[in-house]
Amino acid sequence: MSKYVELRAMSWYSFMEGASSTDEMLGRAHELGYDAFALVDRNNITGALEFSEAADELGIKPITGVTLMLSDADDETPSPITLLAENRQGYANMCNLITFAHIAEGRTDPVLHARYLPGRTDGLIALIGEPGSGIAAYATDAAMTRADAMVNRFINWFGEKNVFIELQRHFVYGDLERNRALATLAERNDVGLVATGGVCFHERARSRLHDVLTAIQHNLTLEASHRQRKANSHYELRSPERMAQLFREWPQAIENTSRIADRCEAFNAKQINYGFPRESVPNEFEDEQKYLEHLCNEAAKRRYGRITDKVRKRLEREFNLIKRHGLAGFFLLYRRVISLAQDVAIELGHSSAEVPIEEKPPGRGRGSSVAMLVGTLIGLSHIDPLEYDLPLERFISEDELLNIPDIDLDFPRDIREALILRVFEEFGWDHAALTAMLPTYKLKGVVRDVGKVLGLPPLELDILAKRAESHNARNLASEMERIEELQDKIGLPGWRDLIEIGAQLQGFPKGLAQHPGGMIISSTPLIDITPVQPSAIDGRYICQWDKHGADSAGFLKIDFLALGALSQMQECLQLIEKRTGSHVDLTRIDFNDEDVYDDLGRGDTVGVFQVESAAQMQTITRMKPRNLYDLALEVAAVRPGVGANDGVSEFIRRRNGSEWDYDHPLEQRALEKSLGIILFQDQVVTLGVDVGGMTASESDQMRRAFQRRNNEALLKRYWERFRDGAAERGVSEKIAEKIFLKFNPHYMFPEGHALAFGVTAYHMAWLRRRYPTEFYTAIFNAQPMGFWPLETLKQDAKRMGVELQSPHVNLSEAKCVPEGENAFRLGLTFVRGLNSDSASAVIENRNWNGPYTSLSDLVSRSGVQRAALENLVKAGACDELPGFTDRRRALWEVGLRYQASGSQGRLKFEVMQDMAMLRPALERDRMTYEYETLGLWTAGHVMSTMRDFLAENQILNSTQLDDKSDGERVIVAGKVLRRQRPLGKMVFMTLEDEHGMIPLAIPPDTWANYRDVLRMPIIVAEGSVSRKNDTMNIMVHQAWPITPAYTPRADVRDISHNFR
Amino acid sequence: MVSNPRKTPSIGGSYQPLNLPMAVQVVSTSDGQPASVTETRKGRALSSQVEHVIDLWELDDEWWRATSIRRRYFRLLMDTGRVLTVFKDLSNGEWFRQEY
């Protein structure tokens, strides 16, 4: 007898219906001796490629399929159906049907209407009669004639050899009766029977997790989800022998599993059959290649005046590579997308039709694509690769093309939003889709979702979710152990289940979401190669592969990314033009401005793209960049892949004159520019070629291999290849190993990407230095973005001579606007509770009917809700109104005067008789009001209110640290801006006071002792000054909380006893 | 189903429960299937032999409670011609009769 093959297993990609990963499922299948296996997730094939790759490695034949709900006009309710792809045609039809199930019925509850089946069933095998289906119900209820009719409809759609009636045995009440009825039905209609496991998890121990997922899916507790949950735990993967035993009454149902598996081709990326997009070309050109070459040559003449030898040689080399790999259509497609972006930029007033696209590209290229001159000439990038002699290999290799080159484009937010919709309009949802993203369960989500279905107290769940430091739900027990209120709950029922099931749920995908900007465009209908479904945002569509799936499928992916910094830059330039009347062309500014490099070298970089983080500030003061390439090195250096081998410190040492040499002279070409240290991805590829004797594509595969999961065996093979190649070049094994050990899995920038970002960083630093008012206005308006909160940006603006003015109901616009050369005014939308509609209402009424003449006038005319009016008062936006005396009194007055918009007869009553005698608002009240409604205090800083008290206690401010030497003991205080734990050991914090910032380093034992204090918003810390390599930190020994000045002083003094 | 099992008694005090499981004695075969069932009625023990196992099913539920439900049910055709449903409580091995 043939061996049983499992044809119906759901993985975690069935989202809430499968309780095991594809790896777990396959691992168990391998243990149980399966030779073939079908993954049939609910409504999607997201796991199919990952599954097929892993199955190949285990020697299991992968079969791909899907489980859908099918609605037939003659049937009352949708019934489940499983489709298996027999071949390439079946795969394409399956993708079509999945797409129509999502498109026709809506995003959340896909149902396939039977009208889509005719013409789309070739190459598909249908399994029908699953428990819960209409066929099973009719057969069991002895309504055989109706069941016959349904079976016959399936036979008409799929053909009788392609329809199988499915038997399942889970030891659920009624199984046997149903199976016997279905067997009779099959015999009556002469269709095959097939046994399946209806597998939901790889082992029975996962059934509890499955119950929890079911309850989460239906938003019910476990108690309330009895009807939705499975009756028992027998939905695990069972051995072929066990299945044969369970179905011994119907041996043909077991034999048919093998027959079906034999009929289905093994699924792999080749079956997807993706071809690079092709573009139509004008008649006068022979083909895409010739047209692309023509476009580039014309652009080169415009850019360089003429085609120089250097340009010609580079272009010839790139043209040859493009031709060899058949990428001309790929680049023409990109050009078409860039032209669409240019159209959008012109419509939004950011560009002009007269400016050639290569002169002012609408976006900025990032990633390794920046290395292509062709890219620069078709408007993909704003960097000239010739100027920096950028190597091509990381983007496109001379030999075979094993991975499709990625092109990533940054756009200002408004252009990107419009461009995505424009691409859908241009190509249609059946030819263009965004890639998917798979948000996964981490500790907080686990606590909230699992805790809720277990019925645990919401208050305690909230404490755990908020105070846990780890993101990994496998650490739930240790996190609870650490939180005092939860320590005694660890072993209690419910909490014990949360810990056990939470650990299993860690990393589970929650569903398919939209990638921020990764888009796939195809010349052939996309829905023949991947299912497409609507995203949560109207007008957008996503395919069912995430980034990795799209990569494995060989799709050409364009990343449209929104970069807040570009939005900021764009607005900044518009504000400058508005004030000065002249347009600043950032391509023609002075790239050797000494003042700008002085700012960068001092770490005076708040708000400057890429170099504003605490880590960048610490490094840039040691690197002291003096030109654009230095800045690219700086941007590249602070990356995990460089830091992993202490590369940053060593690079800075060498840059500052420390002696060094290559480990082998063959490293020179790769590492010359970065003093023997690997700073860029490209350098790994070049080392593989020059030292390991690999081809460029092979070396790039090695680089990628470091980032793969479970890569030990793979890396061992690459090491042997590298070692042997190095030996042929005269490199000893010891030296080869030393070089190989420099490679790591952590992220680094490609060189071109670092340059592109370096140039943007310089643009921002230059604007900050030369046009600070417009710079800060624009950065406020571009929030949320960057690294620092508004208050820090306000303090930094002040240091740069720019004052932030309070919001003002008669002067503020919706957004921030400059006022003169050295000030800007907060916009009304910055006041909590005022969205752009309510801010517009205030402004429009003012513009039409004149400025507000009193608080009463504002309340009656503006039409703003009471809470928003109160927030305007608290934020100081009414301070300058005629007759205004005080914010506390004004709040009372708003309460008396406000009448809800729906109330009848909105009359102006006299209210002064009802005014209470209130004490006027003190400075501390105004400060609290503003922090509450604006997130900042326009007039000062919270630390200044307690400065006298701090000084009395010898607590230093940030400027007093300048003359403290290494090892000196100090006490400091400040508002906590940032906490970071880059390598999971030392915690780095940044405090802010009214003068500047104070960097703290907290050793693990101090963190353990003072964790709760250090998580408070304002703290006092005692420690020793640590000065190393031009950087300063306070190495913290102890910490205390401190409350702001509005707390009665006696309380503050009590706390202060702790640190006297 | 109750909203809070920790505060709610499993059976409402004023209601008369129906179809409560009744303890029976079962002799099993080596593969765990019932061979004979002995019921006690009005103080008299009545035994019958299992002719045929008609169906078999299981329940796993309420694992989050202090006492979970884990039962294996058998629908049996007895030598008397009667059809009887019994279950084995898998947590303690005891047998009960209960119509399903």
DSSP letter (8 states) at residue A37: E
Asked if B4 lies within 8 A of A233 by C-beta distance, the reply is no
pLDDT value, residue A1060: 33
Structural contact between residues A409 and A423, judged by C-beta atoms closer than 8 angstroms = no
Distance from CA of B83 to the nearest CA of A (A): 16
A893 neighbors A908 (Cβ within 8 angstroms) = no
Cβ contact, residue pair B58, A222, below 8 Å: no
* Confidence class for position A394, pLDDT limits 50, 70, 90: low
> Residue A19 pLDDT more than 60?
yes
Beta A997-1002 vs A364-366: how paired, if at all? unpaired
Contact B64 A454 (CB under 8 A): yes
Amino acid in position A249 = E
Chain A, chain B: beta-carbon pairs less than 8 Å apart: 50
N residues, chain A: 1060
Return the SS3 of A773. Answer: helix
Any residues with CB less than 8 A from the CB of A301 and at least 6 apart, and which? A307
Q: Are A682 and A696 in contact (CB under 8 A)?
A: no
CB contact (8 A) between residue A229 and residue B61: yes
Q: Which amino acid is at A816?
A: C
Report CA Rg, chain A: 33
Dihedral sign (CA A870, A871, A876, A881): negative
CA angle, corner A501, sides to A535 and A473, nearest 5?
70
DSSP class of residue A178 equals H
Chain B residues within 8 A of A455 when measuring between CB atoms: 4
The answer to ipTM > 0.90 is no
Contacts of B59 in chain A (CB under 8 A): 231-232
CA distance A416 to A410: 8
What lies within 8 Å, CB to CB, of A904 at 6+ separation is none
Per residue in A769-780, pLDDT (tens digit) is: 999 999 999 999
pLDDT score for A1018: 93
Tell me the β-bridge partners of A85.
A124
Q: Where are the alpha helices (DSSP H) in A771-830?
A: 772-781, 790-799
State yes or no: pLDDT of A1052 exceeds 50.
no
CA distance A957 to A948: 11
How would residue A588 be classed by pLDDT, with cut points 50, 70 and 90? Answer: confident
Q: Indicate the pLDDT class of residue A786, thresholds 50, 70 and 90.
A: confident
In chain A, residues with a C-beta closer than 8 Å to the C-beta of B66 are: 493
Tell me the residues of A at the B interface, defined by beta carbons under 8 Å apart: 171-177, 207-208, 211, 221-224, 226, 229, 231-234, 454-455, 493-494, 497
Contact list in A for residue B100 (CB cut-off 8 A) is 173
Q: List the single residue in B1, B58, B61 with the smallest CB-CB distance to A234.
A: B58
| Four-residue CA torsion sign, B13, B16, B17, B23 | positive
pTM, rounded to two decimals: 0.79
A432 falls in which pLDDT band (50, 70, 90)? confident
B61 contacts in chain A (CB < 8 Å): 226, 229, 231-232
Candidates A225, A230, A233, A492: best to mutate against B (most CBs of B within 10 A) is A233
Closest CA of chain B from A189, distance in Å = 26
Give the span between the Cα atoms of A813 and A793, in whole angstroms: 20
Q: What's the first-to-final CA gap in chain A, in angstroms?
A: 85
CA B79 to chain A, closest CA, distance in angstroms equals 22
Distance, CA of A149 to CA of A126 (rounded, Å):
16
User: How far from chain centre, in Å, is Cα A171?
Assistant: 43
Strand A36-42 to strand A192-195: parallel, antiparallel, or no bridges (unpaired)?
Answer: unpaired
Nearest-angstrom CA–CA distance, A730 and A948: 70
Q: Which residues pair with B24 in a beta bridge?
A: B95
| Bridge partner list, A520 | A433, A557
Cross-sheet strand order for the sheet of A557-562:
A364-366, A407-411, A557-562, A513-521, A432-437, A541-546, A532-534
Cβ neighbours of A171 in B, within 8 Å: 56-58, 72
* Residues whose CB is less than 8 angstroms from the CB of residue A195 and which lie 6 or more positions away in sequence, other chains included: A4, A166, A167, A168, A169, A243, A246, A247, A250, A253, A254, A256, A257
For chain A, say whether B99 makes contact (Cβ under 8 Å): no
Which residues of chain A are within 8 Å of residue B1 when distances are taken between CB atoms? 223-224, 226
Cα-based angle A275, A279, A284 (whole degrees, multiple of 5)? 140
User: Residue A233 is inside which H or E element, if any?
Assistant: none
In this structure, the strands spanning A79-85 and A112-113 are unpaired
Structure token digits, residue B46: 């009545």
Which of A176, A222, A233 is nearest residue B64 as measured by Cβ atoms? A222
DSSP 8-class letter at A807: P
SS3 A513: strand
Q: Note the pLDDT of residue A522.
A: 81
Q: Residue B54's closest chain A neighbor by CA? A: A176
Give yes or no for a contact between A134 and A76, defined as CB atoms under 8 angstroms apart: yes
Strands A61-71 and A112-113: parallel
CB contact under 8 A, B58 and A171: yes
Query: Do the chains contact at B55 and A231, CB–CB below 8 Å?
Result: no
pLDDT tens per residue, range A238-273: 999 999 999 999 999 999 999 999 999 998 877 777
Interval A478-514: pLDDT, tens: 999 989 899 999 989 999 999 999 999 999 999 999 8
User: Do the Cβ atoms of B24 and B46 come closer than 8 Å?
Assistant: no
Three-class secondary structure of residue A831 per DSSP = coil
* Chain B closest-CA separation from residue A452 CA (Å): 12
First to last CA, chain B: 18
Q: CA–CA distance from A768 to each of A41, A604, A793, A936, B32 (Å)? A: 53, 10, 12, 21, 81
Residues pairing with B71 in the sheet: B59, B89
State residue A1046's pLDDT score: 38
Average pLDDT value for chain A? 90
Q: Which DSSP string corresponds to chain B? A: --S-TTTS-SS-TTS---S--EEEEEEE-TTS-EEEEEEEETTEEEEEEEEEEEEEEEEEE-TTSSS-EEEEEEEEEETTS-EEEEEEETTT--EEE---
Chain B: residue whose CA lies nearest to A450: B64
Q: Do A224 and B1 touch (CB under 8 A)?
A: yes
Interface test with B, best of A218, A232, A234, A499 (most B CBs within 10 A): A232
Query: Using CB atoms and an 8 Å cut-off, which of residues 33-92 of chain B contact chain A?
Result: 54-61, 63-66, 72-73
Task: Say if B4 is an interface residue toward chain A (CB within 8 Å).
Answer: yes
Residues of A in contact with B56 (CB under 8 A): 171, 176
Q: Tell me how far apart the alpha carbons of residues A366 and A383 are, in angstroms, rounded to a whole number.
A: 10
Q: Is B32 on the interface with A (CB under 8 A)?
A: no
User: A223–B100: do the CB atoms touch at under 8 Å?
Assistant: no
CA distances from A920 to A376, A856, A892, A940 (A): 62, 19, 12, 19
Q: Is the pLDDT of residue A1054 over 80?
A: no
Q: Kindly indicate the confidence band of residue A391, based on its pLDDT and cuts at 50, 70 and 90.
A: confident
Residue A222 to residue B2, Cβ atoms within 8 A: no
Virtual CA dihedral for A971, A972, A973, A977, nearest 10 degrees? -140
Does pLDDT of B12 surpass 70?
Answer: no
